[in-house]
Amino acid sequence: MNRFKRNVTTLGEFIIERQADFPWAKGELSRLLLDIAIAAKIVNREVNKAGLADILGGAENVNVQGEDQMKLDVFANEQFIAALNSTGECCAIASEENEDMLEFAGPVATQGKYVVAFDPLDGSSNIDVNVSIGTIFSIYRKRSIGNATLEDFLQPGTEQVAAGYVIYGSSTMLVYTTGHGVNGFTLDPSIGEFCLSHPDMKIPKTGGIYSLNQGNYNAFPQGVKEYIKYCQDKDKATNRPYSLRYIGSLVADFHRNMIKGGIFIYPPTEKSPNGKLRLLYECNPLAMIIEQAGGKATTGTQRIVEVKPTSLHQRVPLFIGSEDMVNQAEQMMLEFNSEKSSVTE
Ligand code: P6P
């Protein structure tokens, strides 16, 4: 190996090399992605010492979801908002932690070309038990003339210009797509850089892992119950029974399936007729990533990225992962569920 050639590609180098993919975006999208990465490094630093700092425990606030806001949630939300505000490219954001969209002040409000929807710290209930958690983000071009409007956030997932997630786990990774494949970068704390570790990620076409909260079994639609039985049946030819793995942290369950193959399902239940997960900043970005990696993402009856959003915090059922496994689950939803699973609020 040439001793004068570095064998790592940093996120910054990679984004600049790939700038040619976007003749229309003279570096703005690159700047946006790099600022998101900076916020991720700052959040990572706090996540890694959450057990030490007094950052654990409820922040005495409750977010729009009615969930206790852990202090790290609030911290992460503030870091990503500050990072996106500093880019000069993002004019407004929508966050799981904020009831309404937030428009940035000054000239960027009208000159900024992008809006970003994000979940700053998904799976935060796992923070104090040291389980992997994550950030998920989705980037759209602003369509409105002048200031951003709610409509700019209610574009279908097919209109995303970029999507990604950060997983704060045994290592910290940033995985993103701009519609030209999926690439994963692992944070090297010794140099404070995300380095290309998983080029051109592809999810296996099938897998041996199914991931859902079995505790809700009695509330699942019949099609999901039938699919669970299918996963548990013994069949050598299709390597069944599959293994049930459920971390309870979406990004961690999703990332495991990206690497090993598998399916993650958050179905409709009586308590949550449209499932629990949010279309704008959880399902759509992960759906863009999985499709770019050769997988599939549906509501059980409709392609996730084709759902027309109607509100910022809209929920949809989510079947996502290896193409063959999602097809099988969808087939059972079609066969055993007479009523279509609706995707209204
Ligand atoms: P349940 C975490 O609270 C989260 O939003 C996702 O990260 C995770 O996939 C899901 O909820 C787990 O929900 O109902 O199985 O505990």
Q: Give residue for tokens 């993919």.
A: 21
Domain range for 246 is 209-336
Check whether residue 183 and residue 223 sit in a common domain.
Answer: no
- DSSP H helices, 49-132, are 71-86, 108-111
Same domain, 165 and 213: no
Q: Tell whether ligand 1 has an atom less than 6 A from the beta carbon of residue 213.
A: yes
Specify whether 218 is located in the same domain as 181. no
In a domain, 133, yes or no: yes
254 and 328 within one domain: yes
| Residue 341 domain flag | no
In short, whether 276's Cβ falls inside 6 Å of ligand 1 is yes
**Residue type (1 letter), 242:** Y
Tell me if 310 sits within 8 A of 280, measured CB to CB: no
Is the backbone of residue 140 left (phi > 0), alpha (psi -120 to 50) or beta?
A: beta
Give the chain's residues under pLDDT 70: 1, 23-26, 50-63, 67-70, 338-345
Beginning with the edge strand found earlier in the chain, give each strand of the sheet holding 114-122 in spatial order. 102-103, 90-95, 114-122, 133-141, 162-168, 172-177, 182-188, 193-198
Number of domains the chain contains: 2
Asked if the structure places residue 235 within a domain, the reply is yes
Each residue's pLDDT tens digit, 7-35: 889 999 999 888 877 766 668 889 999 99
Find the CATH number of the domain harbouring 104: 3.30.540.10
Nearest CA to ligand 1 atom 3: 123
Asked whether residue 185 falls in the same domain as residue 215, the answer is no
Distances in Å between the Cα of 165 and the Cα atoms of 56, 174, 326, 335 are 22, 6, 21, 34
Task: Give me Rg for the CA atoms of the chain.
Answer: 20
Co-location of 123 and 162 in the same domain: yes
Q: What are phi and psi of 286, to 5 degrees?
A: -70, -30
Of 164, 198, 232, the residue that ends a domain is 198
What CATH number does the domain containing 300 carry? 3.40.190.80
pLDDT tens digit sequence for 222-266: 999 999 999 999 999 999 999 999 999 999 999 999 999 999 999
Check pocket membership of 249 for ligand 1, CB cut-off 6 A: yes
pLDDT digits (tens, 9 = 90+) for 268-286: 988 889 999 999 999 999 9
In a domain, 250, yes or no: yes
Per-residue model confidence (pLDDT) at position 90: 96
User: Domain ends where: 167, 198, 229?
Assistant: 198
Q: Is residue 343 part of a domain?
A: no
Q: Determine the distance from the C-alpha atom of residue 264 to the mean position of all C-alpha atoms in its chain, rounded to a whole number.
A: 13
